[in-house]
Amino acid sequence: MGMGRPSGAWSTRWLVVVLVHWLLCATERRRGAVVEASHVEFASLQSVPASVVDNRLRTGYHFQPPRNWINDPNGPMYFNGVYHLFYQYNPNGSVWGNIVWAHSVSTDLVNWIALDPAIRPSKPFDINGCWSGSATVLPGNRPAI
Q: Which of 72, 108, 116, 126 is catalytic?
A: 72
Active site residue 72: yes
In angstroms, how far is CA 88 from the centroid of its own chain? 6
Cis peptide before 143 (omega within 30 of 0): no
- Report yes or no: 73 and 85 within 8 Å, Cβ to Cβ: yes
- CB atoms near residue 119 (< 10 Å): 18
- Report yes or no: 131 and 120 within 8 Å, Cβ to Cβ: no
What residues are annotated to the active site?
72
